[in-house]
Each structure stands twice: as structure tokens, then as C-alpha cells.
Structure 1
Amino acid sequence: MLFLIWCVAVIVALALYLKQKYSRFSKYGVKNLPPVPLLGNMTRVICRMEHFADHIERIYKEFPDERFVGRYEFLNPMVVIRDIDLIKKVTVKDFENFLDHRTMVDEKTDPLFGRNLFSLKGQEWKDMRSTLSPAFTSSKMRQMLPFMVEVGNQMIESLKNKIKQSKTKKIDVDCKDLTTRFANDVIASCAFGLKVDSLVEENNDFYEKGKEASTFNFRQLLMFFAMANFPKITKPMKLRLFKDVTTKFFKHLVMNTMSEREAQHIIRPDMIHLLMEAKKGKLVHDEKTTNGTDAGFATVEESNVGKKNIDRVWADEDLIAQAVLFFIAGFETVSSAMSFALHELAVNPDVQEKLVAEIRENEKKNGGKFDYNSIQNMVYMDMVVSEVLRLWPAAIALDRLCNKDYNLGKPNDKCEKDYIVRKGEGLVIPVWGIHHDPEFYPEPDKFDPERFSEENKHRIQPFTYVPFGLGPRNCIGSRFALCEVKVMLYQLLQHMEISPSAKTMIPVKLSNDTFNLRIKGGHWVSMKIRE
């Protein structure tokens, strides 16, 4: 009887606790989907019933007349902002109130992932952003383009060999595998100065470690959410997203490369060299190369935060953390954009042929060669890449952490109370929902590069196209990513004709087994040598 009484007491206490937790929005008139006890609004994602992108779009579309709505990530209330003016306010005007991302990885337990630019907070983040920003100007990207071209030549040679060996002179290719290997080899060259051919040496160490570090499988997805939402439980457990062997691999790679270059006075214009220069305080902004549109419509401009000169001395571990971040971002997000670009070109042959015509025109003009300037001046190429990033943004949602109580105003005209975001609570900017909103993009699920033509792009409302984030905390590597995607498409379409295969999923359905953007069943297309 005593045991039953205790059980009833615990259940009642838990019910009251959950009722209090899940009333955070309703008492202010903020609308939200009904939460499931303990799981909040995460049930369908955790049970693999929907992809995180579909989850964000569902919440965004459920309440079309609201300025912002509520979302419970397990027990934590997070405001999802729908109003574009409010998004501008919290990410730019009142940026200092929402300076940081939520803590995902404990820097004491996992400094390699907890000390990178994405994870750093406050003044440390500002100092690191200022330190690294000069490494990502267009002048630095111009120096790296030949490394990208060299990797592209490897890829074309490998594909041609496979096609020549096939009986049908045509092969089915999983674009995600192809572009991941291409991105891996580019980052190996541009960041670490290593020559890797992942299409020939399929299981090389660099590729395997990168794949492990950048692919969030279901186990890592659960750990990711657990660390973000239950830090008091996960910190004592010293959970880590990645295996020790992966961490040690990157640490040794960066330190050994730096030591070898110091000893042999090797200078190569890649990311390791730029990090070494940053450590010595020799990286400074070249004002002539900070134009926000020099790499394409999607390029984000560096804020004043990143343009300050910093004389702070960083520890080796901090620089290693940045190198690892470059690798993960370059490995996954860029390959995702490229794989979806190839899918769309396969199923939209009219777009492919128009882009091929522009490539051939560029070849004639430049004697069969291309450089940073010529590829950035390709208007239709930029339209295609811009539309890929609109339809398939790698950043499904942006998060911000409130560091001081902040008044968001009323969620709608009928509410009587203002909603105050409390210090320590999070905000979500639903990029996927905004990019697929018919109010901003008619027929949002249609792949239409003409949205970004000279005649139409002025119609795109500011702050409704955010593939590389918003405000001072935007993606530092937008120029690098855009350059790499364009180089890859240029070289591939020069030599290959892409078409749907029997395994191409039309229309696309996302795989629910991962946090990453993946087409269910694979990103399959057919390729043959272009005549």
C-alpha cells in the first residue's frame, strides 16, 4: 500500500510538473502544437516518422497568421519566429541579445568540437570570428580555386574510366557519394594540403574519419538533442559525439602538418597556412575583397564584428578546433548542395542544357579555361546554385540563445500580453519553412532558377533568402562553398550528361534516418560522357 501511495504521488507530481512546463506558451496566448509528455513536439522526429526539415515546415505552416509560435524540444520551450521584421530585429538590430548558439557540446569534455567557431560564445566568439574572417575573403578563395580544379579533374577521369568499362556506356551514380568524395578531396587539399583521391582509394583514412565526423546517424541525433536539452545529465556522463580515434586523427593531422611546415618553411595558400598566419596575428582584412556579392547572390557579407583587428594569442587546440569545423562544414553541407544540384539538373533537362550552353560560351571566351573571376561572372550558373540553396538549404533552421530577457511583443493582434523570452531560452528561425513559403516563393516546391534572374531577383524580400544564415553570426565560409559548388558543376557538365535513372526518386522524399538532408533510397542519377 505504501508503495502504491508513493507511485501515485510521483505520478501526480510529474503530471503537475509537466503541466507547468508545457504551459509556458499557452498562458501568453502563443500558439503551439500539443506536446507529448517528456518528448514535447519531437515525437515524430525521434520515432523517425518525419525528417527534421518536415518537422520545421509543419510547425511553420500550422499557424500562418502568427508572428511567432511555440515549440517544445522535449521539455525546453523554443520560440519559432515567422515574422520577417522580427527575424531582422533579433538577428541584426538586437544581435547582442542573441549572440550565441545553444550549447551542443561541452568544451571541457570535447574541446575539439566545443571550441570551434560555431560553439564559442560571447567575446571569445567575436575574437575568433575577427581572427578567421580574413581567411575567407574572395582573394583567398581565388588562390584555392586551382586546388578545386585539380580535384575535379580526378573526378572526371574516374567517371570516364567507369563509363568506358560499362557495357551500356552509361552508369548509375549515387550523387551523394560522388559529391561527398569530391568535397572530401577538396577540403583535404584546400585545408590540409593533402592529395587524396577518394574515388580511387575509396576507404582512405581521411574520407572515413570525415564521414564519421559529419554524418549524424540516429544515435548521434539522439545524443545531439540530449546534450542540448539535458546538459545537467549529459555533462557528468562525459558524452561525446565522436569517437576518440576520430578526435585523435584530426589533432595529429593538424599538429603534424603545422610542425612540418614550420620546420621546412613550406608555404602553401591553404587553410592550415592561414591558421598559422592567424596564430601569428598576420591575417588582416583586405577591404577590396569584402564585397558581399562577389561570389554570387547567396554570399553573405562580413559584419563589423569580423573586420576588427585582434591581437589575441590562440592555443593550438583552438586552431585545431577550427580546422575540424572547416572539414565538417566542407564535407557535409557543400556535398549536400552539390548532390541536390545534380538531382535537379537530371530531372530538369532544360535547365541543364541552358547551363551547359553558358559553360560552352565561357570556354570559347577563355580558351577552354576558367578562373575565379570568369566562374563568378556566369549569370545562369549563379541562378541555378541560388535556387538549389533555396529549395534545399543545408541549414534547415537557425538557432539563437537569449542572453538577457527580451520582449518579443504580441504573437498576434488578438493577444493582450507581450511575450518575454527569458535568459537561457532559445529561438528558432525556420529557414526551411520560409524558403518553402508560397507568399515569398510562388510554387515553392518547383525548381525554378528564373527566380534569381536579373529581372526577378529584386522581388525577393530581404531576410526571406538565408541559406548561409543571418546577421553577424552568418556562415563564414559562404564564398568557399559557392566557389566549390560552381567549380564542381562546371567541370562535371563540361564532360557529363546527367539524366534520371531507374532509381531516381521523383518526387523527392527525405530519409528520416538521419539529421542530414538525404533522399530516401539514395541520390541516384545516370551519367554518360557528353558528346
Structure 2
Amino acid sequence: MISADTICLLVTLLILFYIWYRYNYGYWKRQNIPFMTPLPLIGNAKVMFTLSNSFFLYLSDIYKDAKMSKAAAVGIYILNKPALVLREPEVIKSVLIKEFSKFSNRYATCDPHGDSLGSNNVFFIRNPQWRELRTKISPVFTTGKIKQMYPLMIEIGFELESHLDSHIRSGNSFVTEIKEICALFATDLIATIAFGVQANSLKNPNAEFRQQGRKFVEFTLGRAFDFFIAFFYPNWVTTMKVKLFSPELSSFLRRTISHVITEREKSGLIRNDLIDVLVALKKEIIAKQEYNQVTQDMLAAQAGAFLTAGFEASSSTISFALYELANRTDLQERLRNEICEALVAENGKLSYETITNLPYLGMVVDEVLRLYPVLPIIDREHLPKNGESQFDLKPYYDYTVPNGMAVYVPIFGLQRDPKYWPNPDIFDPERFSPEKKKLHKPMTYIPFGNGPRNCIGGRMGLLQTKVGLVHILKNHYVEVCDKTPAQITFDPLSLLLHNKGGIYLNVVNDGLYERSAKM
């Protein structure tokens, strides 16, 4: 029998919990900010526990919620912590550009003590170290340097063609999960321009570079927990010993970068790639007598960031493009004809200037990135410098954002808003014709972010995507098959945009360029 004291204690605890719940989850109501109704203890994070949706895509569902259609910002709770989802383009512009100094850090963080590879890469590193690092790495991504790396990309493009042809043993077509082929291509391309090595993934899909890339995006409960802490409760990363890269991938990155830098120093070879920059950084650090394990990890961290982000972004964009083109044969034919005419005019090898300026290819890639931005959100932490005023939401709301609050820009929702994009779920490259691009509302198309902390490799990623599409569509076309999904269903377990179950297409060799070149 339960004693009276026990009952009294339970009632007291329930009362205290109720008071805490009403106060904690009444924050946005007290601030007069539109908010999503939370659940006790988990707030608005139900999808993370039910695995029914990616939380990042859920933020776009909040953006699209009919009740929030006129809201400039929406209050949410991640477990018990309040955060903001921005909807109004002018507010987004202020956060990413106008008042960037107050939002110069991502909210997501890696452990600076126990995860030097994670915390020192250009994606996660915090200001002011971020600004210094970005300044030193930026020369890799100038137009001149990208142009110098272009011949390396073309070599991998021809290897991609050979890989496709090797699958055709009888007849002239084969069914494949197209994302994996795109990932093999992107891995080889990133390896050569970021690491200065031949990964040979297209020749050997089980090569170490590709295996490590697979493991980075592979879902496990442990990885899911680490990413949850890093992105939503960053103050716990040290206590929970969270690491961005697994011990195996960390060892691979350290070993590979150390070997490549040593070989580059011995040979004195200049390839105009990331390794050249890392060699220069190492010399600078040694001159200051500061070279140690942490600084070695800083060098490896940059290559790791470009491997994992670079291969995933390009391969996803190419595979989504091929899916949409397979469903619109008329648009695919138009693109292939443009590519083929340019190839014939330049004897089968497009110049850097030509591939970057093919009008319809550019329109197709831009539209794919509108529908499928690789990372569907941008996260920022509100943290003004000493002496700076705090950011407020006037004239929309009389609310001042507190220090340390997470602020999210739901790119996926923004880029599929019918207010800015008529029939937003329809693949229509004409949206990006020169005439229509002039009509786009600023800050409603930001697949690579915007402002000082936009994606440093955005232009490189666009070029990689275009190289991949050119070399696939040059002599091949794609079509739907029995295994092709009727519609894209995003994998709720993925941090980035992936179709659940993959994207299967039939790849057909029709020798379009070969035939055209003989005419």
C-alpha cells in the first residue's frame, strides 16, 4: 500500500512539473511570437524520436504550415530549448548578410578538445578562427584556380564514360542505382582535386576512398546521437565525447593527408589544388614554431570537409537531375542536344568557358538545386560581439533575440514556396532563364547559403555537377524503369537530402555525340 507521504511527494512533483512545463513552454506565447504547439519534454522534436521525417525537413514543414503563412518568424522548441525558424526574406537577409557579425557562427559545434578534425574544419570552426582559415583557403576557389583544376576534372569525366560503357555487356542499356555511380565519380573527382591522389573508385567501387565516404553518411544509432548533440545541443559535445568523423575515418584522413603533403613537399610539384594551400599553411605554421598534432589535424580537417561535403553534394545533385530528366524526355533531349552541339564544335572536349556558360545546362542545374538543396537548412547562433547590440525582429515583432539562441533558415521550404515559385514542386528549368532570373525575389533562392559564410565550394560544386552531367549525357540517356520511384520520398534518417531506397534508372547508350561527330 502506498503511504500518504509517497502520495504527497508524487503530487508535489506533478505540480512542480506542471509549473515548469507551463513556464518553459510558454516562452514564445509570452514573447508574442507565432509558435508551433510543443509536446511535453520533447517540444517540437517528435519527428526525431518517431523517425518519421528528417528534423531539417520538418523545419520546412513548419515554414509551409498554413497557420504560419503570414509569420515572419516562428518559435519552436527543440526538446525544452526555444529556437527560431525564419520565414521572411528580409529577416533572412539581415541574419546572413546585413548583421552577419551577430550570426557569424553556426549553431552546430564540434568538441574543440576531443575532436580536432571536426572542430577545425571550415564548416564547423568558430569565429574568429573561421575568418582567418577561410581567408587562407579561399584562393583554392578563385576562378583562376578552378579553371586550372578543370583538366583534372575532365580526366575523371572520361573515366565516368568508360565506367558506364563497361556496364553494357549485351544490348545497349543497363538498370542501376544512379546515385552510387554519381558518388563514385564525385569521390574520384574530389580525391584528385582536394587530395591530389587517384582514388580509382570508378574502376574499383570498393576502393578505400569510396568505402570511407559511404561510412560517413551511413546511418547508425550512434552516429544519429552524435549528430543530434552536435546540431541541437552543442554545449554537450565535450561531455558526451561527440566526434564528427568516426575513429576509422579520422585515421584514414590523418594518414592520407600526412602522406600526400610529405610527397608534395618532396616533389615540389604544383597542381593548383587544396594540397598546395595546405603545404603553404604547414610552412607558415612551422615558421611560427607552432606545428603540433592539433595543427596537423587542422590540415587533415580541411581535406576531410571537402571529401565528405564535396562528393555528397555533387553526387546528389547529379542523381536528382537525372531523375527529373528521365521523367521529362523532352527536356532531356533539349539538354543533350545543347551538350552535343558544343562538343562537336570543340572536338569532344569542352573548354572551361564553354561548360560554365552553356545556358540550358545552367538552367537545369539551378532548377535541380532549387528543388533539392543538398543541405535543406542553414543554422546560425545569435552571438553579438562585445559592444554590439542584440538582434531584434522589428518591425515584424517587438522581440530581441537572446544570446546563444539557434536560428534556422529552412532553405527547402523557402525554395518551394508558391508565393515565390509558381507550381513549386514541378521541375521547370525555364524559371532560370535570363529573363525570369531578373524577377526572382532576393533571398528566396539560396542553395549554397548567402553572405560571408556561404558555401566556400559552391562554384566548384556547380562545375563538378556540370562535368558529370556532360559526360553522362554525351553518349547516354536515362529513362524510368520498373524500379524507378514514382515520386521522391526523402530518407528520414539522412542528414542530407536522399531518396529513400535510392534512384534506379535505365541507362541507354545511343552514341549521340559519336554519331554527330561523324556527320
Residue 496 (1) aligns with residue 496 (2): no
Which has the higher mean CA deviation after the structures are superposed, 439-448 or 209-218? 209-218
Partner in structure 2 of residue 225 of structure 1: 228
Q: What are the within-5 Å matches in structure 2 for residues 92-107 of structure 1? A: 92-107=97-112
Q: 1:216 to 1:113 in 2, by over 3 A?
A: farther
Aligned with residue 70 of structure 1, among 75, 89, 93:
75
Question: 1:335 & 1:11 partners in 2: Cα distance?
Answer: 51
Q: 1:142 to 1:233 in 2, by over 3 A?
A: closer
Partner in structure 1 of residue 323 of structure 2: 343
Q: 1:18 to 1:312 in 2, by over 3 A?
A: farther
Q: What are the within-5 Å matches in structure 2 for residues 297-336 of structure 1? A: 315-336=295-316
* Gapped regions of structure 2 (runs ≥ 5): 385-389, 512-519
Question: 1:474 & 1:448 partners in 2: Cα distance?
Answer: 25
Q: Which residue identity lines up with residue 495 of structure 1 in the other structure?
A: N
Which has the higher mean CA deviation after the structures are superposed, 441-450 or 191-200? 191-200
Residues 103 and 119 in structure 1, CA contact (< 8 A), matched pair in contact too: yes
Q: What are the within-5 Å matches in structure 2 for residues 216-295 of structure 1? A: 217=220, 219-231=222-234, 233-280=236-283
Q: 1:269 to 1:214 in 2, by over 3 A?
A: farther
Residues 60 and 413 in structure 2, CA contact (< 8 A), matched pair in contact too: yes
**1:410 Cα deviation (Å)?**
5.5
Residues 215 and 516 in structure 1, CA contact (< 8 A), matched pair in contact too: no
**1:4 Cα deviation (Å)?**
4.5
Partner in structure 1 of residue 514 of structure 2: none
Aligned with residue 95 of structure 2, among 83, 90, 102:
90
Aligned with residue 109 of structure 1, among 106, 114, 123:
114
**1:401 Cα deviation (Å)?**
0.4
**1:450 Cα deviation (Å)?**
0.2
Partner in structure 2 of residue 471 of structure 1: 451
Superimposed CA distance per residue, residues 267-320 of structure 1 (whole angstroms, 9 cap, x where no aligned partner): 3222112222344469xxxxxxxxxxxxxxxxxxxxxxxxxxxx9988332222
Give runs of ≥4 in structure 1 deviating > 6 Å: 311-314
**1:68 Cα deviation (Å)?**
0.8
Question: 2:236 & 2:354 partners in 1: Cα distance?
Answer: 53
Residue 378 (1) aligns with residue 374 (2): no
Partner in structure 2 of residue 160 of structure 1: 165
Question: 1:396 & 1:312 partners in 2: Cα distance?
Answer: 41
Partner in structure 2 of residue 408 of structure 1: 393
Partner in structure 2 of residue 51 of structure 1: 54
Question: 1:346 & 1:149 partners in 2: Cα distance?
Answer: 24
Question: 1:151 & 1:219 partners in 2: Cα distance?
Answer: 35
Give secondary structure in 1 for the equivalent of 2:229: helix
Question: 1:226 & 1:176 partners in 2: Cα distance?
Answer: 29
Question: 2:399 & 2:143 partners in 1: Cα distance?
Answer: 42
Give secondary structure in 1 for the equivalent of 2:379: strand
Question: 1:380 & 1:461 partners in 2: Cα distance?
Answer: 21
**1:114 Cα deviation (Å)?**
1.0
Question: 1:391 & 1:454 partners in 2: Cα distance?
Answer: 19
Q: Which residue identity lines up with residue 145 of structure 1 in the other structure?
A: Y
Question: 1:406 & 1:181 partners in 2: Cα distance?
Answer: 44
Residues 45 and 55 in structure 2, CA contact (< 8 A), matched pair in contact too: no
**1:119 Cα deviation (Å)?**
1.3
Question: 1:281 & 1:436 partners in 2: Cα distance?
Answer: 46
**1:342 Cα deviation (Å)?**
1.1
Q: Which residue identity lines up with residue 226 of structure 2 in the other structure?
A: M
Question: 2:117 & 2:60 partners in 1: Cα distance?
Answer: 32
Superimposed CA distance per residue, residues 418-446 of structure 1 (whole angstroms, 9 cap, x where no aligned partner): 11110000111111111000111100000
Partner in structure 2 of residue 303 of structure 1: none
Give secondary structure in 2 for the equivalent of 1:122: coil
Q: Which residue identity lines up with residue 266 of structure 1 in the other structure?
A: L
Residues 30 and 411 in structure 1, CA contact (< 8 A), matched pair in contact too: no
Residues 140 and 272 in structure 2, CA contact (< 8 A), matched pair in contact too: no
Which has the higher mean CA deviation after the structures are superposed, 237-246 or 94-103? 237-246
Partner in structure 2 of residue 36 of structure 1: 39
Give secondary structure in 1 for the equivalent of 2:400: strand
Residue 485 (1) aligns with residue 465 (2): yes
Residues 376 and 496 in structure 2, CA contact (< 8 A), matched pair in contact too: no
Computed over aligned residues only, the root mean square deviation of the Cα atoms, in angstroms, reads 2.1
Question: 1:53 & 1:400 partners in 2: Cα distance?
Answer: 14
Give secondary structure in 1 for the equivalent of 2:238: helix
Q: What are the within-5 Å matches in structure 2 for residues 382-531 of structure 1? A: 382-404=362-384, 405-409=390-394, 411=396, 418-531=398-511
Q: 1:456 to 1:217 in 2, by over 3 A?
A: farther
Percent identity between the two aligned chains: 33
Q: Normalising by structure 1, report the TM-score.
A: 0.89
Give secondary structure in 1 for the equivalent of 2:204: coil
* Gapped regions of structure 1 (runs ≥ 5): 283-310, 413-417
Question: 1:390 & 1:478 partners in 2: Cα distance?
Answer: 14
Residues 198 and 207 in structure 1, CA contact (< 8 A), matched pair in contact too: yes
Partner in structure 2 of residue 15 of structure 1: 18
Question: 2:411 & 2:491 partners in 1: Cα distance?
Answer: 19
Residues 216 and 515 in structure 1, CA contact (< 8 A), matched pair in contact too: no
Q: Which residue identity lines up with residue 455 of structure 1 in the other structure?
A: E
Superimposed CA distance per residue, residues 383-442 of structure 1 (whole angstroms, 9 cap, x where no aligned partner): 000000001001211011001332112546xxxxx1111000011111111100011110
